[in-house]
Chain A
Amino acid sequence: MIQARVLIRPKEGILDAQGKAVEGALPALGFDGIGQVRVGRIVELEAESADRLEELCEKLLANPLIEDYEIETIG
């Protein structure tokens, strides 16, 4: 078995509403000087092989129209 981590994030140029909301809250919490916040998600999984992980990302884990993904083998 291999362990993999898939990082999914909004494509460049698409307004990331969640990232903006987090960013907008920072000054009120006393965090200054932080910007360009983008919120994505991480999916960790185990697989018998890495062969179909890309297909899995294209079909389910990410929506290629709006999201980029990176697959990292971690074990």
Chain B
Amino acid sequence: MKWGVLQFPGSCDERDALNACQLAGGGGEGLARLVWHEETDLSGLDGIVVPGGFSYGDYLRAGAIARFSPAMTAVADFAAEGGFVLGICNGFQVLCESGLLPGALLTNERTRFICRQGDLVVGEADSPFLAGFEAGQTISIPFKHQSGRFFAPPELLDEIESRGQVAFRYAPGQNPNGSLNDIAGVTNEAGNVLGLMPHPEHAVEAFSGSTDGLALFRGPALSGAGA
């Protein structure tokens, strides 16, 4: 399983994502590389991480401009062909703006930037990314965002729920931002694209207090779907 981690001007979590991909594969620099936002050649890659940060300054709306980058155009084709795409935080916002994932992320209910460790419950989504988790399992990973309030109009929200596209929910009582139905992460219909607001890439080594995020990066390979 070889990963590419996108890097936009303004990205800031790409190094941790790179590290997480490498650790998930057993270690080694050859397991993941950075993909600059102007690159369009994703050949040889099995998975893409769209990392956290403030792509293009998050001007207009978070993720709105990154969506039009050459690399994201290539990622849309990559996803359509079944490639694995994981969007974290700003990456989740980019994937929603791109239409690769349903819904939108709004400013947190209380407008504050949140930065703390919290719990998620693994959802019912049928996605290779979740192969290393049990549905209903609680995991501990950092919450770190200001525009993470998941929103979808009622009909779309019903579709997301009824199709089983919820990948993660904030644990009971821990919804930090007003997200509808406590949704912290969703998948596309096919399950090969997943986005979430919290940060699994910051929870892969014991020194940071939790290694629960690692399973997400191992998912595609564990499911047998990743090369």
Count B-side interface residues using an 8 Å CB cutoff.
20
Which residues in window 48-66 of A have CB below 8 A to B? 60-61, 63, 65-66
Which residues in window 28-48 of A have CB below 8 A to B? none
Interface string of B137-150 (1 = CB under 8 A from A): 00000000000010
B178 near A21 (CB under 8 angstroms)? no
B111 near A63 (CB under 8 angstroms)? no
Q: Which residues on the A side are within 8 Å of B151 (C-beta)?
A: 14, 65-66
In the docked arrangement, what's the CA distance between A61 and B65, Å? 10
A3 at the interface (CB under 8 A from B): no
Q: Which residues on the A side are within 8 Å of B68 (C-beta)?
A: 60
User: Chain A binding site: helix, strand, loop or mixed by DSSP?
Assistant: helix
User: Chain B binding site: helix, strand, loop or mixed by DSSP?
Assistant: loop
Q: Which residues on the B side are within 8 Å of A14 (C-beta)?
A: 106, 151
Interface string of A1-42 (1 = CB under 8 A from B): 000000000000011011011000000000000000000000
Q: Which residues on the B side are within 8 Å of A65 (C-beta)?
A: 103-104, 151-153, 156
Q: Which residues on the A side are within 8 Å of B64 (C-beta)?
A: 60, 63
In the docked arrangement, what's the CA distance between A37 and B166, Å? 33
Chain B contact residues, CB within 8 Å of chain A: 60-61, 64-65, 68, 97, 103-104, 106-111, 149, 151-153, 156, 178
10 A-B pairs in the complex with CB atoms less than 8 angstroms apart? A14-B106, A17-B107, A17-B149, A20-B111, A21-B111, A60-B60, A60-B65, A63-B104, A65-B151, A65-B152
Which 7 pairs of residues, A with B, have the shortest CB-CB distance?
Answer: A17-B107, A17-B111, A65-B104, A66-B104, A21-B111, A63-B104, A17-B109
